[in-house]
Structure 1
Amino acid sequence: MTSIRNAREDEALELAAIGLRAWESAIEGWIDANLMRDNALRAFVEFTQQYYLSIDVAEKGGQILGWAARQNLDNAITDLWVDPIWQRQGVGGLLLQQLEQEIRDQEYDRVTVETHSQNGPALAFLKNRGYQINWMTAVWSDKLDRDVDTVGLVKILFEEDVSDLPYGQF
């Protein structure tokens, strides 16, 4: 059975390696990973070392299957990486549910997440779980060392009940 737990500092390099493999899988066919592998690995290592306290890990039988993070511990999901051999087996869904629950527990009413515009599998994954495209932009990616066209998605967790508010206090 897959469980979700907090990351540990000593796992940073293993998490970075999983992130790199998942990233390479996600960009396959639209970017030559060989050209940017060193930058991407460096970015993953720096992130997992610096932000391990904001990372949740999916684990099964002591093996890490993937991880997800909210870098600033707010309502923005910054990372969701599943080792390619474990993709399409429910791991990403479990990680996403965990982050959504953490965000709900902090009483945010919505979740935001960004992915590159050509990441069809990620967009389909998120749309199937209630996320809707809310914006498109280009942002600098340290992992790729260039601008990337990104899509921002939002999921409403709960809407404020205004039915019992006095008129004019929306």
Structure 2
Amino acid sequence: MSLRVRPASAGDAAAAGQAGYAAWLKGISPIVPAEARGRVTEESFASFVREIPEQILIAERAGVVAGLGATERGDNHISDIWVAPGHEGAGIGTALVRDLEKRIADRGYDNVTISVLSDNARALSLYRHLGYGLVSKGPEFDIHLGCDLETSFLMKDLTAGSE
């Protein structure tokens, strides 16, 4: 199936909201405190896309929104990578990370950072595979969930050449 990564538009909000929320339910919801789970909804993802589409990339697989990635603050930090469950293992996460890395390099940054829940083994494995190294690990307050979560902070040097 063909894979295309492109800039988001506000019109992607509903489909990206569905994809992001499905990914969150499968991968993140089970590893966060129960009292925090209700704070994230499909609308949380949709409004994110409507508010800052210029910081978001959409991955389409066979014309369907299969995932999204973002640099929420427009800097060198990848804030979000979400791949809908039916599209995992198809290279979507890799494509989103690589395209975001290109955007970050074009902004003039020499490195890229990403934070991930330390218990999210699948995501950690992907980022390590893509050349990210662990910088630190510890509790970090998540403003969206309103609680501290054990988080791994990773970085990749963009000047060393990619695989």
TM-score interval, normalised by the smaller of the two chains: 0.7 to 0.9
Residue aligned with 2:156, SS: strand
1:40 corresponding residue in structure 2: 40
1:155 corresponding residue in structure 2: 156
Query: Where does 1:14-93 land on structure 2 (aligned, <5 Å)?
Result: 14-27=15-28, 29-31=30-32, 35-41=35-41, 42-93=43-94
Q: Which amino acid aligns with 1:73?
A: G
Residue aligned with 1:125, SS: helix
Greater gyration radius: 1
Give distance in 1, aligned partners of 2:21 and 2:101. Answer: 24
Task: Note closer, same or farther for the CA distance 1:92–1:99 as it changes in structure 2 (3 Å cut).
Answer: same
Identity of aligned residues (%): 30
Give distance in 1, aligned partners of 2:28 and 2:10. Answer: 27
Residue aligned with 1:113, SS: strand
Tell me how large the CA RMSD over aligned residues is: 1.9
TM-score (norm 1): 0.84
TM-score (norm 2): 0.87
The total of aligned residue pairs comes to 158
Query: Which 4+ residue blocks in structure 1 deviate beyond 4 angstroms?
Result: none
Gaps of 5+ in 1: 160-170
Task: Note closer, same or farther for the CA distance 1:140–1:19 as it changes in structure 2 (3 Å cut).
Answer: same
Give distance in 2, aligned partners of 1:149 and 1:5. Answer: 32
Give distance in 2, aligned partners of 1:2 and 1:70. Answer: 20
* 1:24-50 Cα distance to aligned partner (Å, 9 max, x none): 2113643476x5444111532332221
